[in-house]
Amino acid sequence: MSKKLTKRSEDYSKWYNELVVKADLAENSGVRGCMVIKPYGYAIWENMQAELDRMFKETGHENAYFPLFVPKSLFEAEEKNAEGFAKECAIVTHYRLKNDPDKEGKLMVDPEAKLEEELIVRPTSEAIIWNTYKNWIQSYRDLPIMINQWANVVRWEMRTRLFLRTAEFLWQEGHTAHATEREAIEEAEQMMHVYAEFAENFMAVPVVKGLKTESERFAGAVETYCIEALMQDGKALQAGTSHFLGQNFAKAFDVKYANKEGKQDYVWATSWGVSTRLMGALIMTHSDDNGLVLPPRLAPIQVVIVPIYKGDEQLDAISERVKPLIKELRAKGISVKFDNRDTHKPGWKFNEYELKGVPVRLAIGKRDMENNTFEVARRDTLEKEIVPADEVVDKIAALLEDIQENIYNNALNYRKEHITKVDTFEDFKEVLEVKGGFVLAHWDGTPETEDKIKELTKATIRCVPLDSQEEAGTCVFSGKPSNRRVLFAKAY
């Protein structure tokens, strides 16, 4: 398979699809819409998980595990509350294959092993979890419950793309229960901030925090907080959501508690989640025509060392030179790979690690051995320099910090250049068409206008930014009065 990628300027979508496969992140499986996450891609996801998990625990959450299946009747309870809920799910109806294959060697589903009640493979776990919380909550002493779950979920998507939209995906879902409305709102807001901090400090992806409009809200939520990122092709990507659920689920599943005065009330709830979709955001924010660009804080391999040698003797000498360096880097918590394979040439390896986005590459050949130097290359700018051996550890440590910061700033600058204020619908359409990115415009607050704009331009309201100012204006579409700009974009 050629390592060469389609250029982003030629076909962004094709570039993305090729990159995911060629950088060994993921591939389509033999199961419709389900992906295989390959070791290199999974290692990035594990690094994401580790940081998020730490942040969840630092904010008082515990992990737990709830069943994969949701009995259909629990969906019905929820349905009364959240009518818009997607019905595209994997449904288990039987529990046995016939013991022997038929004459053609085909295994048949045993018709006698039909379930009395169908089971839905969880598309999200509010129903199963609130049905459980009902038994856990009697009094204010049992609150708050602050639980997170790392799990797989399934939504029967018709058009799928690796990481961005797959039938099965991995995610975490937090589900909390509180005694007061105030506490639940604070929790929902806190988790939006945690997500934003993770996106910006670890993924190096700047995000806009905001509130969803009613039509973009999670079914059953009173308020949906979100973080929105901007991809290099000018399309937005929703990177995480945190829902204040009010008492909706408590009412649907009859979850009441006795307060200190013994009075019964429904519990207040939140839920929040991010998924393997973040992998898509990571890839599309930083990568270039040569391949992935990974933020050092999430890169599975932060430094790769490629020896340039002829014969075992030279390799042995290089290995000896490199050994204490590797030790020193690892002692500093820097992950290093020394690629001494003799099955591939240095040039091939250079391309490979460029494609895989390894932040720093060291090369060492005959001349470096003589001069006691290394060639140090950074992935983000592709700049190279010769560094004396005794300075190389400090150089690498500084470079990793610098790359993390630099790719964040690049993404931030791109976003700054792609947030455009517009005041007429002509401009609105033109900006979306020609320049792309976020458009800040006045909107009259009605779902009808929102729908109409979406129909005409494919742009949706990504959010009402938290930092938006009151400002008198008129809706860019209807001309009706508005007191605040909202953020529009075409989105993934």
Nearer Cβ to a second copy, position 88 or 316?
88
Nearer to a second copy, 121 or 463 (CB): 121
Instruction: Tell me whether residue 9 or residue 99 sits nearer to a second copy (CB atom).
Output: 99
Q: How far apart are CA 245 and CA 223, in angstroms?
A: 7
- One-letter amino acid for residue 160 of the chain: T
Nearest CB to a second copy, comparing residues 6 and 335: 335
Query: Whose Cβ is closer to a second copy: residue 148's or residue 404's?
Result: 148
Q: Specify the DSSP class assigned to residue 441.
A: E
How far apart, in whole angstroms, are the C-alpha atoms of residue 420 and residue 474? 16
A 10 A CB-CB count for 147 gives 21
Q: Which helix (H) or strand (E) holds 242?
A: strand 236-246
157: which residues sit within 8 A by CB, 6+ positions away?
Answer: 33, 88, 165, 166, 167
Q: How large is the C-alpha radius of gyration of the chain?
A: 26
* Distance, CA of 256 to chain centre: 34
Q: How far apart are CA 487 and CA 213, in angstroms?
A: 11
DSSP letters for 260-289: TTS-EEEPEEEEEEEETHHHHHHHHHH-BT
Q: How far is the CB of 228 from a second copy (least distance, A)?
A: 27
154 vs 392, which CB is nearer to a second copy? 154
CB 164 to a second copy: min, Å: 16
Q: Tell the smallest beta-carbon distance from residue 265 to a second copy (Å).
A: 19
Question: Are the C-beta atoms of residues 476 and 420 closer than 8 Å to each other?
Answer: no
Alpha-carbon dihedral sign for residues 391, 394, 397, 401: negative
| 3 state DSSP class of 253 | coil
What is the 8-class DSSP label of residue 98? -
Closer residue to a second copy in complex, CB, 116/320: 116
Least distance (Å) from a second copy to the CB of residue 26? 9
- Strand partners for 227: 209, 240
User: Which of 279, 271, 347, 280 has the alpha carbon at shortest distance from 308?
Assistant: 347
CB of 457 vs a second copy, minimal distance in Å: 27
Nearer CB in complex with a second copy: 120/194: 120
Q: In this complex, which beta carbon is closest to a second copy, that of residue 267 or of residue 487? A: 267
CB-wise, 45 or 438, nearer to a second copy?
45
In Å, what is the CA distance from 291 to each residue of 30, 382, 384, 411, 430?
A: 26, 12, 17, 16, 31
Pick 36 or 456: Cβ nearer a second copy: 36
- Strand partners for 463: 487
Structure-token pair, residue 205: 């992806």
Q: Which residues bind a second copy (CB under 8 A)?
A: 29-31, 34-39, 42-43, 45-46, 62-72, 74-76, 79-80, 87-99, 101, 105-107, 109-110, 118-121, 128, 131-132, 141, 147, 151-152, 154, 156, 168, 170, 343
Task: State the nearest-atom distance from the C-beta of 133 to a second copy, in Å.
Answer: 10
The two tokens of residue 231 are: 């991809």
**176 beta partners:** 146, 270
For the CB of residue 414, give the shortest distance to a second copy in the complex, in Å.
31
Least distance to a second copy, CB of residue 60, Å = 12
| Whole-angstrom distance, CA of residue 392 vs CA of residue 373 | 8
Q: Which amino acid is at 5?
A: L
Judged by beta carbon, residue 143 or residue 194, the one nearer a second copy is: 143
**Residue position matching structure tokens 């949906």:** 224
Rounded to a whole number, what is the distance in angstroms from the first to the last CA of the chain?
Answer: 28
d(CA 336, CA 333): 9
